[in-house]
Structure 1
Amino acid sequence: NWQFQPRKRKLEDEFGLDPADLEVPARRNQPAPDRGTLGYEERRRRNNQAVRRSRQRVRERQDWMREQIDQLQERNRSLESRLVYLNETIDSLRELIERQPTEENERRLVDIEQEFSAYQERHRLRLQQQQDQGQASRALSAASRRQVTAANTAESRAGVDGGGGGAGGSSRPDIPEPNHDALDLMLQEMLRENPQLELTGGGQPSRPAAPPPPPVDAADDASASLQQLRRRVA
């Protein structure tokens, strides 16, 4: 029955060997990481942290720019409503002048036409600002994507070129940090193109003060009087 005994029992009885002495740990034959590999891992960790910080800064600026665009859109909608109302008022006042050509009605028409021209110019400027903000936001997003792609490419090349990090292997090269200054320069360029914006102490653009509401002048009084004239003529 000796041939049916377990292998461990056979080694102990016939050869006096302990099977545990023949077992090799799984990691015993693997080379220990050298200083070059450890340095690469540290540089990779720092690079990942820098990329995350860069993305966070870009997200904050994009959120701020989207908020500015939303505010401009709201102001433009208000201006458009005012322009539609003034245009209708001018048409009605011209019809009234054809029926009752008085000096007072003609003076009211001139005042309202001047107000209409002023609102047209203000609306044009708001639309231009909205377009500039949109272009700056898209350019900022594109620059951020290029920087992250460049950092990832450099990291991949470093992993390939630095292979064999053992005793005879070459050390891995440094991974470049993301260029934060490029984003700051782009933001400064946007601020130069939009002088109504200014930086706060934290480096972020401050929200411009909301424009004052349109003044209530003689044109508004003329518009109210026009409504009364319409009812009288009708």
Structure 2
Amino acid sequence: MTQLPHSSQPFAGDIQRLLSDSTPASFSQRAAPTNAPNVLLIMLDDVGFGSMSTFGGPVPSPALQRVADEGLSYNQFHTTALCSPTRAALLTGRQHHRVHMGGITEIANSYPGYDSAIPVEAASVAEVLRMSGYSTSCFGKWHLAPSWEQSPSGPFDRWPTGLGFDRFYGIIGAEASQWEPAVYDQTTPISPHAGRPDYHLTEDLADRAIDWLERQRASTPDRPWFCYFSTPAVHAPHHAPADWI
């Protein structure tokens, strides 16, 4: 075996026979900078730039308009128009080939930049923020684990919980039924739709995200949070609730 874990850092203090003669090592917890903002990052799947009324499109989007009115709107950007590469670039801040995501994970191969295996040195924004004292979460579609690593038996290194997210609830692959999705809670497969004829994945994801945010506020109100909300809709299959049709 040549791939072994790194050794722990040696004790930096000094231990003598008497406590009064000993010196403890410094101990510090991760703490975010003062007034660090909370961050909610929303990724909509297969939604065109010009679809929403926020950017002059035909689809009414009053909630998004309120967000835009209170923040900033960008109208010049570039994307690969593919799922996994766009997500990899968004979460790492790097060109998608540099993080091995030249295509979607289902067509990964051994050529440079196309194996869908995000390298350790390409830290996600969640990992960087968690190291800076943030609580982090991912709700929804992931689609960043190589197809051979999407099994419930792992490995989970490139699942959300392995790339900086404390909390994950959603789907690992490219698409899912909104009625009967293959959902994972952290790395455990579950069936939240069982016994619920009115179940809809998008509503479930929103409820879970709200619950997580409320627990953050109740448990650690002074700790900032980063929430990546990435609903699989509007990606096919198109399963809209009856009251929206």
Fold-level similarity (TM above 0.5): no
- Which structure is larger by alpha-carbon Rg, 1 or 2? 1
Q: Which gives a bigger RCO, structure 1 or 2 (Cα 8 Å, sep 6+)?
A: 1
Identify the structure with the greater strand proportion. 2
Identify the structure with the greater helix proportion. 1
